[in-house]
Structure 1
Amino acid sequence: MLDLTKLAGEIPNISQHLKGEAAAGNKRLELARTLLSQAKIKQEKLVQSQQKWRDRIIFSAAIPIEPLDTCIDLDPAPYSHTVFATDGSQISPSHHEIAYCYLINVGRVMLHYGQSLYPLLDSSPEVFYKPEDLYVSRKWGIRTEEWMGYRRTVSEISVLAEMASRWVNPPGPHFDIPNLAMVDGSLIYWFLESIPTEARDRILPPILAAWDRLRSVNVPLMGYLSAARSSEAINFLRLEACPHPNPNCMTHCGSLTDKLPCQVVEPLRDTSFWGNYLQPGQRGTLFRSSQRILDLYGDRKIYFCYVNVGTEIARIEIPEWVAENSTLLNQALSLMLAQVYKGYGYPIALAEAHNKAVVRGGDRASFFALLEQQMIRTGLRNVGTSYKEARKRGSIS
């Protein structure tokens, strides 16, 4: 139990610290505005320099595809449209339970607007119990719990692609209805950097196959990031702040251990900066991500922009094939914004997918009770949880 009496003495110090940080943040914001006004004048030159010195730049800066001061009002969503979304949850394996296994539950949502059709709101559970599922990751030094999270990512996008492609193909009355497939979080899978190639080959190919399946039926894919903490877009301004004739970080700044001379606005975030430019219902500049992990994706580049959805500045990520089709891009963004409005600040399809996916304490107990009954029915004896687990469940506090 948290002792609030002891904690109260620390609150004034925290408040004072945050006040100082807010003042410093305003100064960084003004400096970033100045850099933006300078960078947009020679934006093309900075992009060329970035491309030329890419292998010598030690930070990741997104590439602007449009003018840096772009602010575009998003169109209203069409009356008739369909939105697909998935999200996942899991039951982690535990040696204290009656069986060592794990479960991945993917919530599926398909919402139809202006079509007089019933929505789809359900979940798709899958249990993993075979040795090749439970222990295969250990030879790569990956814990089973981590591997379960990677498998969950694959399941979410695979279920999304299957649901969307089945709905629009074969062509029917709903084939030409605008639609959108959404996932919660980034389309840039950072965990791939830290796992061996053999493990990566089990995860990335099915994800990319699901992306290609959505592309084949022309359903735009979007990753919605709430409270994003990226600085990838604002890092482009570091090229303008660089005091050297070229951004050769390895030569000019490779021996520095402190902040680099171009880090004049750190730790300002993209959302904080673009929040001062975008009005509700507007999107900002379209960027192409230059994260090196995307080299693993082949020709499937990731683009992003920031959108003022009214309650926050959301980072929206899309594949290259969506970004290059202006009609599809505008359609996807308008449907996304309508979802946020319907969800009072967060896309309602993603919220419902989460609610269908989440595994609560009672669900976990019911799952293992069902498993226990089946094990006893098949003739297994001495089935039960460990004394530790039983004692924790019966705690008096």
Structure 2
Amino acid sequence: MLDLMKLARQMQGISQHLSLEAAAAQDRVVAARGLLTIASTRQADLVSQAETWGDRAPFTAAQPTEPLTTRIAVAVAPEAHTVIATDGSQISPSHHEIAYCYLINTGRVVLHYGQGRFPLLDSLPEVVYRAEDLYQSRQWGISTEEWMGHRRTVAEAVVLAELGEAVQSSLGEDSSLADRVPVLALVDGSLIYWFLEALPGEARDRILPPILDAWDRLRRQNIPLVGYLSASRSGEAMNFLRFAACPFLQPDCQTHCSGDGDSDGANSGGSRVDRAPCGRFLPLRDATFWATELAPGERSPFWRSTASILDLYGNHRVYFCYLNVGPEVARVEVPQWVMADAALCEVALSMVLTQVQKGYGYPVTLAEAHNQAVVKGGDRSRFFALLEQEMIRAGLKNVGTSYKEARKRGSIA
């Protein structure tokens, strides 16, 4: 039980601290805006420097693929369009339960607009209980709980591809819809799977190829894939400005500023103020900066992510931009093949913006996919009750939770 009286004493001074942080953030935005002006006049030179010296930098800096002055208003989505999305949830394994197993539940959503067609809202459960599946990851030093999360990521991608193929097949049955109804595949979160960098190669080969294969299936159906990141903490775009702020002729971080960089790749420039000369405007998140630059409905220039894990993505290398959806500035990611088709990319962004408007601040398909996937307390109880019945029916005896779990569920205090 949380003691609110003790907690209240620790809260003293937090409002003053947050006020000081807000003022400091404004100063950092002003500094970054000045660097953006400088960088826009010598963008080609800075991109060349980033390509040459980026591997010696202790941070991940994305590279702009459009002029830094780009501000484009995103159009309204076509009246008739379809959006598909998946999301996952799970019941984690526990040695204190009646059986050591876990469940992955993948929510599926298909919403049709302007077509008079019924939506799809359901979920696909999968129970993992065989020893070879439960303990497979132990050989790589990966816990069963962590591996379960990775398998959930794969399931979400595979189910999304299956939905896309089914939707295109159904649209093809109606010649009046086949040519005029665009379809969008929407994913909650980043398309850059940073966690793969820490996995052994053999383990990574069990996760990434099926995901990329699912993306290939979407590409063959001409369905753009988009990753939507709300409240993004990334600093990849701001890190590019560090090349404009570098006081040295050659931005060789390892030679000039050894030990002064920020080593966090996924959230570069996030947790502390960098001591390097180029880090005077850090920590500043991309979304915080672009919120001061973009009007509602506008997007930033596109950037090419240089995360090292993307070297394994092939033609699925990730590009991103920042989109002012009204309530916030969201990071929107697309694979290279979507970026290469300007018309496809444009209609994808228009459907993303429309989804946020329909969802009152967050894409409605992603919210519904989460609601379909989430496993509530009652669902968990029913799952183990069903499992208990099956075990008893199979002739197993002494079926039940551990004494520790039983006491935790029924305190006598």
Distance 2:54 2:98 in 1: 53
Per the alignment, residue 173 of structure 2 pairs with: 172
Correspondent of 2:369 among 328, 332, 353: 353
In the TM superposition, what is the alpha-carbon distance from 1:256 to its structure 2 partner? 4.3
Q: Is the 8 Å Cα contact of residues 357 and 363 (structure 2) preserved in structure 1?
A: yes
In the TM superposition, what is the alpha-carbon distance from 1:105 to its structure 2 partner? 0.1
User: Matched residues, percent identical?
Assistant: 63
Per the alignment, residue 229 of structure 2 pairs with: 225
Distance 2:96 2:104 in 1: 19
Letter in 2 for 1:357: A
Letter in 2 for 1:259: R
Distance 2:113 2:411 in 1: 48
1:328-368, CA deviations, whole angstroms, 9 ceiling, x for partnerless residues?
11111110111111111000000000000000111011011
Distance 2:374 2:178 in 1: 31
Between 348-357 and 45-54, the greater mean CA deviation after superposition: 45-54
Distance 2:42 2:22 in 1: 31
Distance 1:208 1:299 in 2: 9
Correspondent of 2:348 among 332, 343, 348: 332
Letter in 2 for 1:175: A
Distance 1:64 1:262 in 2: 18
Per the alignment, residue 140 of structure 1 pairs with: 140
What are the ranges of 5 or more consecutive residues in structure 2 without an aligned counterpart?
262-273
**SS state of the match for residue 385, structure 1?**
coil
Is residue 153 from structure 1 mapped to residue 156 from structure 2 by the alignment?
no
Distance 2:111 2:256 in 1: 54
Letter in 2 for 1:117: R
Per the alignment, residue 123 of structure 1 pairs with: 123
**SS state of the match for residue 169, structure 1?**
helix
Per the alignment, residue 398 of structure 2 pairs with: 382
Per the alignment, residue 209 of structure 2 pairs with: 205
In the TM superposition, what is the alpha-carbon distance from 1:396 to its structure 2 partner? 5.6
Is residue 215 from structure 1 mapped to residue 219 from structure 2 by the alignment?
yes
In the TM superposition, what is the alpha-carbon distance from 1:297 to its structure 2 partner? 1.4
Distance 1:142 1:207 in 2: 19
Correspondent of 2:315 among 299, 304, 307: 299
Per the alignment, residue 185 of structure 1 pairs with: 189
Distance 1:388 1:231 in 2: 44
In the TM superposition, what is the alpha-carbon distance from 1:298 to its structure 2 partner? 2.6
What are the ranges of 5 or more consecutive residues in structure 1 without an aligned counterpart?
none
Distance 1:302 1:206 in 2: 17
Per the alignment, residue 271 of structure 2 pairs with: none
TM-score (norm 1): 0.97
**SS state of the match for residue 262, structure 1?**
helix
Q: CA RMSD in A?
A: 1.3
TM-score (norm 2): 0.94
**SS state of the match for residue 207, structure 2?**
helix
Correspondent of 2:304 among 288, 292, 295: 288
Q: Is the 8 Å Cα contact of residues 40 and 67 (structure 1) preserved in structure 2?
A: yes
In the TM superposition, what is the alpha-carbon distance from 1:77 to its structure 2 partner? 0.9
In the TM superposition, what is the alpha-carbon distance from 1:250 to its structure 2 partner? 1.8
Per the alignment, residue 410 of structure 2 pairs with: 394
In the TM superposition, what is the alpha-carbon distance from 1:246 to its structure 2 partner? 1.6
Is residue 364 from structure 1 mapped to residue 380 from structure 2 by the alignment?
yes
Letter in 2 for 1:9: R
Q: Is the 8 Å Cα contact of residues 54 and 61 (structure 2) preserved in structure 1?
A: no
Distance 2:12 2:21 in 1: 14
Q: Is the 8 Å Cα contact of residues 82 and 113 (structure 1) preserved in structure 2?
A: yes
Per the alignment, residue 89 of structure 1 pairs with: 89
Distance 2:337 2:389 in 1: 50
Q: Is the 8 Å Cα contact of residues 322 and 330 (structure 2) preserved in structure 1?
A: yes
